[in-house]
Amino acid sequence: MTPSRTISARSARAGHLLLVILIPGLLLAATWYAPGMSNAERAITPDEALKQLLEGNQRYIDGQMRSHDHTADRKKLATGQSPSVIILRCADSRVAPEIIFDQNLGELFVCGVAGNTPTTEIVASMEYAVSVLGSCVIVVMGHSSCGALDAAIDNFDDVDELPGNLPTLVSRFLPAVMEAKEKDGDLLTNAIRVNALMSAEQLPRMSTILQQAVKKGELKVVGGVYDLSTGRFTLVD
C-alpha cells in the first residue's frame, strides 16, 4: 500500500469512527431538544395539572389521602415516566412533595436544594422534564421556617464568613432578604415568600427551552409556600 493510500484508508476509518460516534450523539441531542408536547398531545393542560396537585394537598390536609399501591405502580413505571408536574423543593426533611400533594410514584419530577433556588443543574433537569417527559407545570415550593433563608437573614452582612460551601448557596438568598426588608410583617416569612416568587420568575430567564414553552402556553411556572404546621401549600403572587 502506498503512503497516500494508507493515509486515505486511515482517514476513511477515522471518518467512519466519527460517524459512529456522531450519529447517536446527534440523535440524542435531537431527542433532548425536541419541542415539548403541545397541550393537545398531552392528556392534561397546565391548569388542570396544577388543580390536581392542589386537590392532592387538600386531601393531605384533610387526612383523606388515596391509598397507593407502590408495588403495582413500580412495575407499571419500570419502562417509562411522564410526570406532569416538576417540583423545586427545599432539602428540608419535612418537605416531601409526594406526601404533601398525595401523589403516586411517577407523578412528580422532583428537584431539590436547600432554599429551593434554581441552580444551572436544576434548570437542566427541568429542561429534560419539559422537553422529553412532557411536564407542563413547575412549582417552586418554599416552606415556613426555612433554615436556608434564616441563615441568609442572620448572616446578611457577612455571608462569606460561613463555613464550607455555604457562602455560595446562602448568598443566592440575599436579594430576596433585601426585598423582604422593605415589607411590613415578619422578615423570615416575607423572605420565604419573596424567594419562592423570585425563583419562579427567574426560571424562564435561565432557559430558552423553558421560556419558549411558557410563551407557547405549554408550561406554567408558579411559586408557593408550604406551611409546616397546617400542611397547606399556598400559591404566592
Contact residues toward Zn ion (CB under 5 A) are: 90, 92, 146, 148
Minimum distance of Zn ion from residue 169's CB (angstroms): 11
Minimum distance of Zn ion from residue 198's CB (angstroms): 15
Nearer to Zn ion, 146 or 188 (CB): 146
Minimum distance of Zn ion from residue 153's CB (angstroms): 13
Nearer to Zn ion, 134 or 142 (CB): 142
Minimum distance of Zn ion from residue 96's CB (angstroms): 13
Nearer to Zn ion, 114 or 136 (CB): 114
Minimum distance of Zn ion from residue 21's CB (angstroms): 43
| Residues forming a β-bridge with 234 | 225
Nearer to Zn ion, 27 or 228 (CB): 228
Nearer to Zn ion, 148 or 169 (CB): 148
Minimum distance of Zn ion from residue 90's CB (angstroms): 3
Cα atoms in the Cβ-side hemisphere of radius 13 Å centred on 197: 15
Nearer to Zn ion, 140 or 146 (CB): 146
3-state secondary structure the chain: CCHHHHHHHHHHHHHHHHHHHHHHHHHHHHHHCCCCCCCCCCCCCHHHHHHHHHHHHHHHHHCCCCCCCHHHHHHHHCCCCCCCEEEEECCCCCCCHHHHCCCCCCCEEEEECCCCCCCHHHHHHHHHHHHHHCCCEEEEEEECCCHHHHHHHHCCCCHHHCCCCHHHHHHHHHHHHHHHCCCCCCHHHHHHHHHHHHHHHHHHHCCHHHHHHHHCCCCEEEEEEECCCCCCEEEEC
